[in-house]
Amino acid sequence: MVTSKSRGHVVIDTEECKGCELCVEACPSSVLYSSDEFNTHGYHPAAYKGEGCTGCGICFYTCPEPGAMTVYKRWDLMTDTAECPRCGGEYKVFHTDEKPEVLVCTNCLKPIQEKVIPIR
Amino acid sequence: MNTILKKSDSFYDVYERRPGADKLTTTYCPGCGHGVLHKLIAEALDDFGVREKTIFISPVGCSVFAYYYFHTGNVQVAHGRAPAVATGIKRAHPHSVVISYQGDGDLAAIGTAEIMHAANRGEGITVFFVNNAIYGMTGGQMAPTTLIGQKTMTSPRGRTVNNEGFPICMSEIIATLKAPVFVERVMIGDTKSTMHARQTVRKALKLQIEKNAFTFIEVLAACPSNMKMTPSRSRQWVKEVLADYFPLGVKKDVSGEFERKDLSRMVVKNSELHDALNIETAKVDSEKIAPYREKIINEEIKIAGFGGQGVLSLGTVLSEMSMRHNYEVSWLPSYGPEMRGGTANCSVKISKKKIGSPLVANPTILIAMNRPSLDKFEHDVISGGLIIYDDSLIDRKPTRDDVDVIAIPATKIADELGNTKAANMIIVGALIEYKNLMSQEVVLESLGDVLKRKNLVELNQKAILRGAEFIKNLKK
Ligand SMILES: Cc1ncc(C[n+]2csc(CCOP(=O)(O)OP(=O)(O)O)c2C)c(N)n1
Ligand code: SF4
Ligand code: SF4
């Protein structure tokens, strides 16, 4: 899935997305789409095609929900798949630019070395 | 820009204040402009490191619950009053960052006066004004910003100039005032305009943080629900139709030459206060007030009668004398529109502790100088309180049996002294004696400093003595 075209990465919290589709329309790379699935609120959340995100951040600023969209601007800084101690699953972790030693889970969005807090 | 664009720390992780099961999403409709503006503000607060000193004022309107989301100080205020509350908060906390967040119904209809005057005073606050051309929360009624021809719940055939006037251009109005430093209208329409709005939000907040400048940012935004459009279509409408009537751009910017506004609080020294009020505390013999130093006093007094009976000056004399005993005091008059006659009352608080509010709702002492006053306030007196009434004018007894009652023919005694107007001082004398509130000697000595008409000092001293005498006889 990870290709050289993917300079960024976007994670959508499907439960926070209200399906307004503004990001789908705004994404200049057309890598977002409206999912056929329903979330628990009955909306069709936006979804990422899985590759091609440039990390431009346009979807983030288009989206009205504070927590629905997270954009990682430096896909190349991601490590290999690892297990996140917080959410348990296997997820990509991401070195931040500011603090290279901190790893961030792309799923729960938390730095993984800190004290484990319950996942929402 | 940050490496990760994620939910700002200036938002709560979980919206605990939001009732119900869903504590992760906002109450805004899909595609609503409020959410985007919230994000731009929160991001700026994060980036400038001011979250902890920010106080966010939520209005009435769809953003009434902004305090569910913003992890800042929060106050939710009455409709339209955000700039007034922001004024108070900024003045009390000059180092804080105060945001007045308002809709167009809130700011341009019910709150027009508040925003005009806050802007005119150039309060050091940042105003975010969301213009979505409608009353969102209440279901799409016409706003002052509703466009000509636009159909709303309350303009079902479309707004007309003849009937409702022109849509009001708040940014242009605010920009005509002298004090505002930076006024701009932006929109959340497409990517480009939103990113520009982001810069503007940051500039405005920065101007407050660095210079305490008043800034006013109008944000054209979509309300898809009430426009009855898809989110996408509604943003297009904002861009093509709303922004056509409300031109975007900087309306005023004097931020370059504006010098930081000094908001340090003016601290008034006690001695200056005493000079201004003409109180010579030094003259009070500390020996004489010594017995009252340890006395625990917490009286809330309502004094009522008709205008001309000296009800207000009864209150001022009590207050002045209390100050001379180093009590905390407040005095609050209330009178009808008539210059003479009519009813008047005042509230006096005398306390050992600092007084928060001068209002007296349930007096510990009621002084009723005419019948309507007794009728009106008798039932407000706390159980165990005291009612003093002038029985030369009031033809009935109080009905309460859970309070102390003193009937004193103050007006009649004053007549005997040769001046009906001294009735109020007779009551002062009686009250002081009955409650042992203060030193009679100090009161008599200071009367000359307190009363404006010096030729009446002697008469009033006599009146105070007669009042005290009346109580002494009662006690016998
Ligand atoms: C004193 C008072 N008057 C009227 C109302 C009813 N009311 C609630 S929200 C609202 C309109 C808000 O519209 P706007 O400021 O445009 O905000 P929006 O909902 O569009 O964001 C009104 C009139 C109220 N709550 N309080
Ligand atoms: S960051 Fe840019 S490219 Fe990536 S999904 Fe969002 S809008 Fe598309
Ligand atoms: S009614 Fe309009 S302003 Fe209110 S939340 Fe919905 S879209 Fe936003």
For A10-56, the pLDDT digits (tens) are 999 999 999 999 999 999 999 999 999 999 999 999 999 988 888 88
Report the nearest-CA residue for atom 9 of ligand 1: B61
- For residue range B361-386, what is the model confidence (pLDDT) as tens digits? 999 999 999 999 999 999 999 999 99
> How close is the nearest chain A Cα to the Cα of B46, in Å?
13
Please check whether residues A24 and A47 belong to one and the same domain: yes
> SS3 helix, strand, coil % of chain B, rounded to 5?
45, 20, 40
Chain A residues within an 8 Å CB radius of B191: 26, 58, 61-62
- E strands, B63-112, are 73-76, 97-103
* A4 within a domain of the structure (yes/no): no
> Which 8-state DSSP code applies to residue B146?
P
pLDDT at B121: 97
B449 assigned to some structural domain: yes
Are A105 and A54 contained in the same domain? no
- Give residue A2's pLDDT: 39
Whether A54 maps to a domain, the answer reads yes
Domain shared by A52 and A92, yes or no = no
Closest in A71, A94, A98 to B5, CB measured: A71
Task: Say whether both B323 and B251 belong to one domain.
Answer: no
In chain A, DSSP assigns E strands to 9-12, 32-34, 46-48, 69-72, 78-83, 90-95, 103-105
Q: Say if B10 falls within a structural domain.
A: no
Residue A95 lies in a domain: yes
Which CATH number is A17's domain given? 3.30.70.20
Looking at residue B295, its pLDDT comes to 84
Average pLDDT of span B99-113: 98
Residue B6, domain member (yes or no)? no
User: Do A102 and A60 sit in the same domain of this protein?
Assistant: no
Q: Which residues line ligand 2 (CB under 6 A)?
A: A 8, 10, 27, 29, 31-32, 53-59, 71
Residues A13, A46: one domain?
A: yes
Let me know whether B257 and B360 are in one domain: no
| B-proximal residues of A, 66-105, CB under 8 Å | 66-74, 77, 94, 96-98, 104
Whole-angstrom distance, CA of residue B109 vs CA of residue B116? 12
Task: Give the nearest ligand 3 atom to B35 CA.
Answer: 8
Element (H, E) at B227: helix B224-227
Residue A67, domain member (yes or no) = yes
DSSP secondary structure string for all residues of B262-308: P----PPPHHHHHHHTT--GGGS-HHHHGGGSS---EEEEEEEEETT
The tens digit of pLDDT for each residue in B286-337 reads: 888 898 888 889 999 999 998 889 999 999 999 999 988 989 999 999 877 6
Inform me whether the pLDDT recorded for B103 exceeds 70: yes
The confidence score (pLDDT) of residue A117 equals 33
Share of residues in chain B with pLDDT > 90 (%)? 86
CATH number, position B224: 3.40.50.970
pLDDT at A91: 59
Q: How many domains in chain A?
A: 2
Q: Is the pTM of this model over 0.80?
A: no
Average pLDDT in the B192-201 region?
A: 95
Q: According to DSSP H, which parts of A1-120 are helical?
A: 22-26, 58-62
Are residues B300 and B259 both part of a single domain? Answer: no
**Residue written as token pair 């306390």:** B351
pLDDT digits (tens, 9 = 90+) for A53-111: 888 899 999 999 999 999 987 655 565 666 776 666 665 655 555 555 556 665 665 66
State whether A65 and A96 are in the same domain. Answer: no
Residue A53 CA: distances (Å) to CA of A9, A67, B52, B115, B348: 6, 19, 34, 44, 70
Q: Same domain for A70 and A91?
A: no
**Could you tell me which residue, B271 or B207, shows the higher pLDDT?**
B207
How many domains is chain B built from? 2
CB contact under 8 A, B32 and A64: yes
For B54, the domain range is 33-265
B447: CB partners within 8 A, 6+ apart: B317, B457, B460, B461, B464
> Can you give the pLDDT at residue B374?
96
CATH of the domain at B353: 3.40.920.10
Q: Which of B21-25, B219-223, B262-266, B352-356 has the highest mean pLDDT?
A: B219-223
Pair B225, B289 in one domain: no
Same domain, A51 and A38: yes
Nearest Cβ partner for B24 among A98, A104, A120: A120
Q: Are residues A68 and A13 in the same domain?
A: yes
Q: Is the pLDDT of residue A118 over 90?
A: no
Shared-domain flag, residues B96 and B210: yes
Same domain, B235 and B310: no
Residues of chain B with Cβ-Cβ distance to A26 below 8 Å are 190-191
Phi, psi for residue B465 in degrees, rounded to 5: -65, -40
Q: Which helix (H) or strand (E) holds A35?
A: none
Specify whether B339 is located in the same domain as B289: yes
Q: Whose CA is nearest to atom 1 of ligand 3?
A: B136
pLDDT confidence band for A4 (50 / 70 / 90): very low
Last residue of a domain, one of B211, B237, B265: B265
* Residue ranges of A 12-51 with Cβ closer than 8 A to chain B: 13, 15-16, 18-22, 25-26, 41, 43
Shared domain for B345 and B317, answered yes or no, is: yes
pLDDT at A78: 60
ipTM for this model: 0.72
Residues in chain B whose Cβ is within 8 Å of chain A: 1-8, 11, 13-14, 22, 24-26, 28-36, 38-40, 42, 69, 190-191, 194-195, 198, 224, 230-232, 235
A90 shares its domain with A112: yes
The order of strands in the sheet holding B126-131 is B73-76, B54-58, B97-103, B126-131, B215-220, B182-187, B249-253
Domain of A17 in residue numbering reads as: 9-75
Q: Choose one of B222, B237, B265: the last residue of a domain.
A: B265
A3 domain-assigned: no
What is residue B60's predicted lDDT score, i.e. its pLDDT?
A: 97
Instruction: Give the pLDDT of residue A6.
Output: 59
**A&B contacts, CB < 8 Å:** 105
Q: Which ligand is nearest the CA of A71, by number?
A: 2
Whether residues A70 and A19 fall in one domain: yes
Q: Give the end of a domain, one of B265, B287, B318.
A: B265
Is beta strand A46-48 parallel, antiparallel or unpaired with respect to A69-72? unpaired
Statement to judge: residues B302 and B369 lie in one domain: yes
Does any domain span residue B270?
A: no
User: Model confidence at A114, in pLDDT bands (50, 70, 90)?
Assistant: very low
Residue A1 lies in a domain: no
Q: Do residue B243 and residue B299 come from a single domain? A: no
Cα–Cα distance between A109 and B4 in angstroms, integer? 10
Distance of alpha carbon B365 from alpha carbon B380, whole angstroms: 10
The proportion of chain B whose per-residue pLDDT surpasses 70, expressed as a percent, equals 97
Q: A57 and A15 share a domain?
A: yes
Cross-strand partners of B328: B351
Check whether residue B339 and residue B449 sit in a common domain.
Answer: yes
Same-domain check for residues B283 and B409 = yes
* Through-space distance between the first and last CA atoms of chain A, rounded to whole angstroms: 27
Domain contains A103: yes
